[in-house]
Amino acid sequence: MRRKRPTPHLSAPLLQQLAAATRQGLPLAEVAAILASDPETVPAGAPASFAAALATGQSLSATLAQMPSVAAPSTAAWVSLAEKHQQLPAALQAWGDDVAQLNKGQRAQRLALLWPGAVAVTVLILWAVLAVFVIPAFAQTFESFGANLPAPTILLFASSQLLIQWWWLVAIAVAGGAWAVWQRKLPAPLVRAAHRLTDALGFIARWRAALFGHRLVALLSAHLDSGPLQAAAMAHLSASTSHAAWAATAQRLQAGLLAGQSLSAVLQSEAALPRRLAAFVQLGERTGRPEAALAALAETAADELQEAQARLERGTVLWLYLLLGLTVGALVLAVYLPIFGMGALV
């Protein structure tokens, strides 16, 4: 069964088509009429009410403001400002490209976790079978011999009894957690804690930084001649970034741009960002060609993101094998320690 998204959204192809239409001067009402002629297009790209609202002739920003489930308020404000500055096509193209990149990053994350997740589920099932049918037999055997059990073995037997007595509660907790992860409805404190924990793994932290950097450069490139529009794009970046630290970085960039600082100065003030971002942009400002500097940065960011995604896949598998080895080793040690102890007595 195909997974449903928790909220409606505007797809990247739809946003890119809207950008192309506005660039050619086609009214959005006509775009909505064309989309409405294909019943498969509108539900795939946006709620039907979105196309209906466009058909009334109201502005895109007004339509988005009435539908917070389709676009965050900061994104709607970005579109509104782009309309006022006559840069709506550039904003829509940048938004569509950003959605495409964000979806691509999420797909890469899911693919990296697919194999480890399958192995983890298999290990949990095998552990449940051992805990219910095998470990109790070992416990009875050791009890009949009157052996003094070491702490790892006591912990193993206690966890087995806990699973046998409260299996229904464990099943509900596992099923609820899997559903929350699948639907992306984990509580915010739990998400922040998970981000802090996984940031300790270099390959995950590097992938997040590369994804953020790639999106950052692309959004800044969309509005080279307008600091306010760049600031509005940073607000969109912050609202669409789930990682709290990187979202805060985007907010600080927005504040600096709104304060009238140069782009290079704003980038230089952020220690979390690579130093070359500020250096390249400053060179572009001095030579009068910031677009060339950002184009070079975009190419570098794309290469780094590709490399980070490969590291993410390899690192996830390596950590899976490490945890699996530690788990199996601990299980074997807990079972055999009492046997070694009884052998010494004999």
pTM equals: 0.83
Mean of pLDDT over the chain:
83
Under the banding of pLDDT at 50, 70 and 90, the label for residue 273 is very high
Under the banding of pLDDT at 50, 70 and 90, the label for residue 241 is very high
Q: What angle do CA 307, 311, 314 make, to 5 degrees?
A: 140
Per-residue model confidence (pLDDT) at position 55: 72
pLDDT tops 60 at residue 47:
no
pLDDT tops 70 at residue 181:
no
Per-residue model confidence (pLDDT) at position 29: 73
Both ends of the chain: CA-CA distance in Å? 59
Per-residue model confidence (pLDDT) at position 182: 64
Could you tell me if 13 and 45 are in contact, meaning their C-beta atoms sit under 8 angstroms apart?
Answer: yes
pLDDT tops 60 at residue 118:
yes
Q: What is the CA radius of gyration of the chain?
A: 27
The pLDDT of 63-77, averaged and rounded, is 85
CA dihedral of residues 40, 43, 46, 47 (deg, nearest 10): 140
Per-residue model confidence (pLDDT) at position 303: 93
Could you tell me if 191 and 185 are in contact, meaning their C-beta atoms sit under 8 angstroms apart?
Answer: no
Q: What are the structural domain ranges in the chain?
A: 12-100, 104-346
pLDDT tops 50 at residue 304:
yes
CA dihedral of residues 35, 41, 47, 51 (deg, nearest 10): 0
Cα–Cα distance for residue pair 299/115, rounded to 1 Å: 30
Per-residue model confidence (pLDDT) at position 136: 86
Per-residue model confidence (pLDDT) at position 107: 86
Under the banding of pLDDT at 50, 70 and 90, the label for residue 43 is very low
Per-residue model confidence (pLDDT) at position 216: 95
Q: Which residue has the higher pLDDT, 197 or 179?
A: 197
CA distances for 113 relative to 60, 184, 200, 346, angstroms: 37, 15, 17, 48
